[in-house]
Structure 1
């Protein structure tokens, strides 16, 4: 990745053939501009964009995150059936959900062992398995 957040963001978008609109580049800079992976909610990304002076609406943030997911640049991780986090790391990996703090972090993949899955119902196939381990500080 480049040392320039705008160049990094533009390259990231071009990998998925997404047009680098002003809003997409601004949000991509926040997501991958420093080359690190992130877990964000639409609301947290909207706040970060607002803090940097980017002129984007919350609806634009939601639409852009969905477009990034559809293009394979991010994955959506749903917690509690309704709260969505968006992860820039698209490789299969488990997550910790910190219930007390309401945030998501990566869990070590090498420590996860799944010895078997139930057979898919007739006429269906297993597409993926999402692992979210809920934590509470003691």
Structure 2
């Protein structure tokens, strides 16, 4: 995290406070600190565990349960997008626009599929509408590449 000018940092905090209030969430100290980790550096895919570790390394005292709760609150408020990739681990995406993902097996890492790549849309059943299309394509290095 680079050193921001004091004026820039104040503007950023003010913007996050407004976004949280607009989403119906009180801008508590812990929410603001976690939001600063999530949204300051561009689009990210994070797990609660990774965000908790990042907070600890920066000296931010927050429990893992609070991180989970905050991520789910941000998701419900539309500030994050939850990605179900593995049964035991949830990933959260700071980019809430409609887009698809690659999940790199062995690295447990998610990357965005480039914008403009379209994955087929399935028509919904009668009386239903599509809210979001979450496509995660699992990839790994080619087996030949592992030998060479």
Answer yes or no: same fold by TM over 0.5: yes
Aligned to 2:140: 136
Long gaps (5+) in structure 1: none
The structure that has the greater radius of gyration is: 2
Cα distance in 1 for residues equivalent to 2:71 and 2:104 = 22
TM-score, L = length of structure 1: 0.84
What's the CA shift for 1:62?
A: 0.2
Aligned-residue Cα RMSD (Å) equals: 1.9
What's the CA shift for 1:15?
A: 1.8
Summarize the Cα distance change of 1:67–1:21 in structure 2 as closer, same or farther, 3 Å threshold. Answer: same
Q: 1:113 aligns with which of 113, 118, 133?
A: 118
Aligned to 2:101: 95
Summarize the Cα distance change of 1:96–1:9 in structure 2 as closer, same or farther, 3 Å threshold. Answer: farther
Query: Helix, strand or coil for the counterpart of 1:12?
Result: helix
1:124 and 2:121 correspond: no
Aligned to 2:73: 67
Long gaps (5+) in structure 2: 143-148
Query: Helix, strand or coil for the counterpart of 1:127?
Result: coil
Aligned length: 133
Residues 12-48 of structure 1: CA distance to partner in whole angstroms, max 9, x if unpaired? 34224132211111111111123x1111000000000
Q: Is the 8 A contact 2:103 2:136 kept in 1?
A: yes
Summarize the Cα distance change of 1:9–1:136 in structure 2 as closer, same or farther, 3 Å threshold. Answer: farther
Query: Helix, strand or coil for the counterpart of 1:109?
Result: coil
Q: Is the 8 A contact 1:5 1:32 kept in 2?
A: no
TM-score, L = length of structure 2: 0.79
